[in-house]
Amino acid sequence: MVDIAFPVLAFFASLAIVMFVFSIIAKRLIDAYIPVLSLLAGVIWITLFVTYDKIDVLGSPVNSTNTITPTQVDYMDVNIGTSVTKLSGGGVNNIFAGEEIVNTDSMLYNKRIDQACMSLTKTGSPTGTVNIAVYDSVVTPTQANYLYLLGTKDSTTLTTTQTSYCFIGVDTYITTTNQAIGAFFNGGSAGNEVNVFSNATGNVFDGTNSIRTRYVASWSDFTTTDTRMSVSLNGIQEQTLNEYSKQDIGFETNEGARLKLFFLIIGISFMLTGIAERYAGRNT
């Protein structure tokens, strides 16, 4: 947030000095108009005091919102595949399955992403949370050591029918090599699993630059198949424009209170000066 409270205060202070000097000069030139000018200046400053919390000093929208919705950019879209990779805890099955970014030629390399869709089902009655996330494909994945979380899914809400679920991250993330995008699940047990899907044969996406991978006790790569999933930049963002709102000049803050008090003091000073000059003029 741009803090302009001090520059605004300095501006009005300078303006007050200029007006004060002007009043001295004007007094010598046109004594008859000093009371009127002082009273008018007082009215202006007191008006600023009264209306300060009702105006936008810089003339821009206050708390305005600009919603930016760019066209979705798809980097990967594999929508075929019925081969199952089972995920569960206990060291029996894999705990991660997804697509790995092998090198800089990958269509997933150096991409800004915020959405992934995966086909998931369940076997038996698994319990626990499924992470849809970006993981380091060099270290052992855990529930908490993801690089970027796209979303989570309660495994109990999955069905036995292959269904595509989409997950959108809170922010965006730029991918690089030695990363894998997919599903992590270490709950459940043998017979109570979360299932991720891939095509049976044929590397349908990006050759060997991006490949299907999984983790059980170590990472295993499959260069001739791909995970059934999509990866994209959904790009729905909301930007709140506060750069020139009242909040930036300290409204309802200590700075704003001091600025309002400054308006009041200057206004009263000018009005008292006008009244005093008026009566002084009558007595001379």
52: pLDDT strictly greater than 80: no
| pLDDT tens for each residue of 223-266 | 999 999 999 998 764 444 344 444 444 444 455 566 666 666 76
Residues 190 and 54 in one domain: no
Mean pLDDT score, 2-13: 60
Are 210 and 100 in contact, with CB atoms under 8 Å apart?
yes
Residues 203 and 78 in one domain: yes
Mean pLDDT score, 53-66: 45
Which domain does 24 fall in, by range?
A: 5-63+243-282
Out of 26-30, 75-79, 133-137, 216-220, which region has the weakest mean confidence (pLDDT)? Answer: 26-30
pLDDT of residue 92: 78
**How far apart, in whole angstroms, are the C-alpha atoms of residue 120 and residue 162?**
6
**Both structure tokens of 171:** 């922010």
Residues facing residue 184 across a β-bridge: 96, 131
pLDDT of residue 57: 43
Residues 99 and 116 in one domain: yes
254-282 vs 34-51: helix crossing angle, rounded to 10: 160
**How far apart, in whole angstroms, are the C-alpha atoms of residue 85 and residue 93?**
9
pLDDT of residue 187: 94
Classify 90 in phi/psi space as left (phi over 0), alpha (psi -120 to 50) or beta. Answer: left
Please give the mean pLDDT across all residues of the chain: 79
The more confident residue out of 103 and 61 is 103
Residues 104 and 161 in one domain: yes
44: pLDDT strictly greater than 90: no
**How far apart, in whole angstroms, are the C-alpha atoms of residue 13 and residue 40?**
18
Residues composing the chain: 284
Residues 83 and 222 in one domain: yes
DSSP state of 156: G
pLDDT of residue 37: 63
| pLDDT tens for each residue of 28-39 | 655 555 666 666
Residues 155 and 190 in one domain: yes
**How far apart, in whole angstroms, are the C-alpha atoms of residue 109 and residue 181?**
11
Residues 146 and 248 in one domain: no
The more confident residue out of 72 and 239 is 72
Number of compact structural domains in the chain = 2
Residues 176 and 247 in one domain: no
Residue 50: how many CB atoms within 10 A of its CB?
13
Mean pLDDT score, 131-157: 97
pLDDT of residue 134: 98
- Nearest in space to 115 (alpha carbons), one of 68, 154, 148, 157: 148
| pLDDT tens for each residue of 201-218 | 777 899 999 999 999 999
Residues 167 and 55 in one domain: no
Residue 86 in any domain: the answer is yes
**How far apart, in whole angstroms, are the C-alpha atoms of residue 277 and residue 273?**
6
